[in-house]
Amino acid sequence: MKFRYLGNSGLKISEITYGNWLTHGSQVENDTAVRCVQAALDNGITTFDTADTYANTAAETVLGDALAGQRRESLEIFTKVYFPTGPMGPNDTGLSRKHIRESIDASLRRLKTDYVDLYQAHRYDVETPLEETMQAFADVVRQGKALYIGVSEWNAQQLRDGHALAKELGVQLISNQPQYSMLWRVIEEEVVPASRELGISQIVWSPVAQGVLTGKYLPGQPAPEGSRATDAKGGADMVKSWMSDDVLEGVQRLKPVAEELGLTLAQLAIAWVLSNDNVASALIGASRPEQVESNVKASGVVIPAEALARIDEAIGGLAERDPAKTTAPAHRLS
């Protein structure tokens, strides 16, 4: 496992971060989740990402249990705040001082730790003054409950505004967590240049485009039974924009590139996002330990320039690149 600095800080994180968004507390049984976390540890992953909203707080509890007994100093534990939790009352969402203060304490209890290494704003809150949000985050850092602060899916201007306030308050905003893959490149035009300027790294989610870049979906054929594209509970909605034959044909054109590099398509997709020097880590999830063991092999892979050009030729024109797609929800989903 290789490690990279997170933003303009001294914190190093593993190139592969284990995330439990769609699995722990919902899609997989707890004993399987624990085995996946153990597989991550066994394969050199030290960085773990979750959020209070995942499975309505259950994911944090599962991760806390799975990491119990590990040397805390050898781990980097990240969580997030913004989306509704608990009974979803009027103050159970957003980035108000009240919600942040109550959420960090609850997250620490569930994670069984005194602090998180990174506390992230899960989205930009258009209904709370940014000054209030950043002051609350600064208080969390000063109280020793988080070491650094980060955000998720903020656009370039939001990053500039948040970074300026954090600097005034004497705390470090060092990361952004956006979606990024060969098929979803909306951060490249504005977010990445602004982040480089500000000393902010990306921790990217869905590097395999919800499984589409694994090559398991074939053009003109039904989705495999049990795959996310057949999940009526929401998974199918998340991948449907990539299920057109032209996209699936483009993914199949990547197979020779992956084979020549000795990689699976999933490993190629993860290595591709890590080839962007503003990306500190790629988030992976897993429903089986074997998926973790396979995906970690993308760490340290260097994709030659010729192969990168072939990837762009095969699939680049199919990618979404509009920077306006990096937007916060208009309201808090309360």
Active site residues: 54
SS3 content of the chain, % helix, strand, coil (to 5): 45, 15, 40
The length of the chain is 334
- Rounded to whole angstroms, how far apart are CA atoms 43 and 20? 17
- Rounded to whole angstroms, how far apart are CA atoms 64 and 314? 41
CB 124 within 8 A of CB 158: yes
- Rounded to whole angstroms, how far apart are CA atoms 139 and 104? 11
List 14's β-bridge partners, or say none. 3
- Rounded to whole angstroms, how far apart are CA atoms 218 and 235? 17
With residue 313 as reference, give the H or E element that holds it: helix 305-315
- At how many degrees (to 10) do helices 305-315 and 245-252 cross? 160
DSSP label of 243: -
Cα dihedral value 136, 139, 141, 146, nearest 10:
-60
Q: Six-digit token pair at 230?
A: 């057949």
Token pair 């942040």 in the structure block, residue: 100
Q: Six-digit token pair at 154?
A: 């903020």
